[in-house]
Amino acid sequence: MLKLYFAPGTCALASHIALAEAGADYTTVKLDFKSNQQNSPEYLKINPKGRVPTLVTDRGVLTETPAMLAYIAQTYPQAKLAPLDDAFEFAKVQAFNSYLCSTVHVNHAHKMRGARWATEESTFADMKRMIPKTMGACFGLIERDMLAGPWVMGESYTIADPYLYTLTTWLDGDGVDIATLPKVKAHRERMEQRSAVQKVLAEQKA
C-alpha cells in the first residue's frame, strides 16, 4: 500500500487527487506545518528535504510532485492519467508539470519562504509585493498558451489537471483575480465537480 505524507494547502494536493483518480490503495499522513513537523527527526528520516509531498512505495520513497504524478500514471495505466503510449504527448504533460514546479510554485513561495533567497526583512517585503505580478504573469501565460481546454492537454484528463488545480487554489491568496482568467476559472470549477477531488478535499479537512 502507498503512503502519502501531506499538509493541507500545499502542492501535495495534486498527488493526493491523482491517487484517488487512479483508484490506488493508499493511506495518508497529515503533517502539522505550524509545529514544524516537517523538520522533525522522524520525518527527516523519511524525506531529508523536510517538505511535502512524500510518497512511500514498496520500492522506496519518492519526492517531487512531477515525479510522483508520473509514477502514479505509470503504475495505474488503466486509469489513463497520461498518454503513456505516445512519448511526445507524455513529454508535453511533463513539460507542463515541470513549469508548474520550477516556475509557478517558486514564484508563489516568495510570499512566505523569502528566507530561502535573502536575509533582509525589506527584501522579504519586496518579494511579497511582487507576488500578484509574477503569479499573474504565469497564469496569464497558462490561460493564453498552455491550457488547451477543457482539460490542460485538451479532451483527455491527465495528471496535469490536478496539479494545475492545486496551484489555482492559491491565486486568491496571491492577489490574482481568477475572474480575469476565464479558462483557468472554468478548469477549477470543472475539477471541483469531480468525485475524486471532492473525496480528497474531504480527506484533507478530516
Whether 94 and 69 share a structural domain? no
> Please, how many CA atoms are within 13 Å of residue 168, restricted to the half-sphere of its CB?
27
3-class secondary structure, 151: strand
List per-residue pLDDT tens for the chain, 206 residues long.
999 999 999 999 999 999 999 999 999 999 999 999 999 999 999 999 999 999 999 999 999 999 999 999 999 999 999 999 999 999 999 999 999 999 999 999 877 775 777 677 777 787 888 899 999 999 999 999 999 999 999 999 999 999 999 999 999 999 999 999 999 999 999 999 999 999 999 999 97
| CATH number of the domain encompassing residue 64 | 3.40.30.10
Same domain, 102 and 180: yes
Which pLDDT value is given to residue 206? 78
Do 101 and 188 fall within a single domain?
yes
Residues 121 and 62 in one domain: no
Count of domains for the chain: 2
175 in the same domain as 130:
yes
pTM listed for this prediction: 0.95
Query: Are 115 and 36 contained in the same domain?
Result: no
- Mark whether 28 and 52 lie in a shared domain: yes
Could you please report the per-residue DSSP string of 47-65? -TT--S-EEEETTEEEESH
Q: Output the nine-digit C-alpha cell for 173.
A: 491568496
The verdict on 151 and 171 lying in the same domain is yes
Q: Are residues 105 and 37 in the same domain?
A: no
**Residue 146 DSSP SS3:** helix
11 lies in the same domain as 74: yes
Q: How far is CA 185 from CA 6, 30, 46, 70, 140, in A?
A: 25, 28, 36, 25, 12
Q: Which domain holds residue 97?
A: 87-194
> What is the domain-level CATH number for residue 93?
1.20.1050.10
> What was the pLDDT predicted at 126?
77
- Quick check: bond before 150 cis, omega within 30? yes
Same-domain pairing of 67 and 94: no
Question: Is there a single domain that holds both residue 33 and residue 127?
Answer: no
